Amino acid sequence: KQEVTQIPAALSVPEGENLVLNCSFTDSAIYNLQWFRQDPGKGLTSLLLIQSSQREQTSGRLNASLDKSSGRSTLYIAASQPGDSATYLCAVKVAGGSYIPTFGRGTSLIVHP
Amino acid sequence: GAGVSQSPRYKVAKRGQDVALRCDPISGHVSLFWYQQALGQGPEFLTYFQNEAQLDKSGLPSDRFFAERPEGSVSTLKIQRTQQEDSAVYLCASSPRTSVDEKLFFGSGTQLSVL
């Protein structure tokens, strides 16, 4: 069974810092990995989707990388802003079966002014 | 186009009551997923539909949980004889096709509180 772990569980930083959030998974036979943002009391908003054949994806100040062989993905946030405060979740879609995405517990990020 | 819509937004139930949670996916989306999210946790898979077919229900925690999608669009998650441990946010997600490279689009969820 695929296990997804996110480190750190929580992070509090001053505005302007560059951040790295980590996602690791136990089964490297994945199809894709998706990063989401969740604001309190809200659903999940997709940030970036990386296919298994890709190494990274970029959107604005966000960059996500994927290293399947080591079972890791990182989400890099450049020049963090208070509006980036949210919980960040990664979800891994595994090979075989019905391709059900498995989620980590998330990293709770607070960016203070 | 509207996004994924879930109703009700909040539901308070007395222990033992039956509840029904509704999900309207994005129009034309083939795949539909239900997840359960406890406070401070990541979403846990409950069940998956491809059109009207329920292809995977391995995540349903007990036979009190039942989901359907009779016409391949709107889906309902029903919980019978609710228990306090059922209190959680129930999230619905859809994606356009069945390809493995498709993004998931989530609704805002239904927060269920069982008293």
pLDDT digits (tens, 9 = 90+) for A53-88: 899 999 999 999 999 999 999 999 999 999 999 999
Q: Which of A105, A107, A97, A104 is nearest to A13 (CA)?
A: A107
Chain A residues with CB-CB distance to B101 below 8 A: 31-32, 49, 51
Question: How wide is the angle at C-alpha B105 spanned by C-alphas B65 and A67, nearest 5°?
Answer: 105
| pLDDT, position A98 | 61
The predicted-structure confidence for A13-56, as pLDDT tens digits, reads as follows 999 999 999 999 998 888 889 999 999 888 899 999 998 889 99
The beta-carbon neighbor of B101 closest among A31, A42, A102 is: A31
Question: Chain B residues with CB-CB distance to A under 8 A?
Answer: 4, 6, 33, 35, 40-45, 48, 55-56, 59, 91, 93, 100-101, 103-109, 111
Contact of A58 with chain B, judged by CB distance below 8 Å, is answered with: no
What average pLDDT does the segment A5-9 reach? 95
Contact present, B23 and B31 (Cβ < 8 Å): no
Contact present, A6 and A109 (Cβ < 8 Å): no
Chain A residues with CB-CB distance to B109 below 8 A: 42-43
Residue A2 above 80 pLDDT?
yes
Q: Distance between CA atoms of B102 and B30, rounded to whole angstroms?
A: 11
Name the band, by pLDDT with cuts 50, 70 and 90, for residue B45.
very high
